[in-house]
Homo-oligomer: A and B are copies of this chain.
Amino acid sequence: MSQNQEVVLLRQPETRPVAADFELRDAEMPMLGPGDLLLETLFLSLDPYMGTAIKGKHLSGGVRPGDVMPGETIARVVESLHEAYEPGDLVQTRGGWRRFARATVQSVQKLTPGGVPVSAYLGVLGMPGLTAWAGTVRLAQPLPGQCFVVSAASGAVGSAAGQIARNMGARVVGIAGSAEKCAYVRDRFGFDACVDYKQSDWREALAAACPDGIDAYFDNVGGTILEAVLPRLALGARIVLCGMMQQYVSATPLPGPALGPIIGKRATMKGLVVYDHQDQLPAWRRIGAEWIRDGKLHFKEERVAGLESAPAALERLMAGGNFGKVVVQVTPG
């Protein structure tokens, strides 16, 4: 049987994690108890929340030095001591940064991909996609013709949120960090416009793209981007606070934006935590898969090969260097 491997956190970073904060090491093969499954990881999801988790501060529970890194995985059943599973079955679980993992049947979900690439269940049809779905349909609630703005628009959550809003009839404007990303957001994801926040005139470009103000803002970054959006709100605007990339990589809490426009525009700001919306996962997977098959929902994956590549890939993700949902293909083929 193959050798097991895992990645542990060596130290909690002050700001952004770097690859050297982690160590790949050999590990024992898991011992199964009655009813357990032995899983071989196919794909591991890397997500921005991990940057907070390894500082010990995330809702999902902190990670301490010496811990194996947690994370969402797609895995194949290698050995099953439970009658409902057999070798070869595909499951989704929080298997962590490991090649082989032991799991109870309560902690896995069987997958039947149905014409959609299996890794999509970590991205557009997984937690990031559910985040986009819940934040858009439950909190931002764009109406047809309204202006919906989303930051980190080329990322897993942002690209899905914008396409969901567009499929609801909204006019959709993205904010992203390069001309290449903006072109992709417009051409591939079909946004009406996309603004590159690294250009000095991006605030004017955002204003021009939203001439009647911003009715809904899906915020994945916080900080200076949120600060620039608030003065452009339309009356009755909704702001969904979903992620704070600028915060995750800062050693201390950053001050927030001036909140005067919240009063003036009778706006509503809501905090989004995807764990509250698990009840929506079946509905989202049904409509999301249908949209993917119909060409109404696209996604972009940045795939890296091998568990040993995960630390550097997380470093790049937390520095904003990725382009699309980051997935580690742990087992080739």
Using a CB–CB cutoff of 8 Å, the interface residues on chain A facing chain B are 59, 222, 226, 241-244, 247, 253-273, 276
Contact = CB atoms under 8 A, between A and B. Distances in A.
Contacts of A270: 262, 266-269
A247 B260 contact: yes
Contacts of A254: 258
10 contacts: A241-B259, A253-B260, A262-B270, A263-B271, A263-B273, A264-B271, A266-B270, A266-B271, A267-B270, A268-B271
A255 B255 contact: yes
A250 to B, nearest CB: 10
Point out which of A256, A261, A264 has the most chain B C-beta atoms below 10 A from its C-beta.
A256
Given A269-B268, A271-B264, A271-B265, A256 B259 contact: yes
Contacts of A59: 264
Contacts of A272: 263, 266
A50 to B, nearest CB: 16
Top 4 A-B pairs, shortest CB-CB distance: A256-B256, A253-B258, A263-B271, A269-B269
A269 B260 CA distance: 12
B267 A271 contact: yes
A271 B273 CA distance: 22
Contacts of A253: 258, 260
A247 B276 CA distance: 35
Contacts of A273: 263-264, 266
Contacts of A247: 258, 260
B276 A263 contact: no
Most buried by B among A59, A226, A257, A265: A257
A42 B242 CA distance: 52
Contacts of A242: 263
A268 B269 CA distance: 6
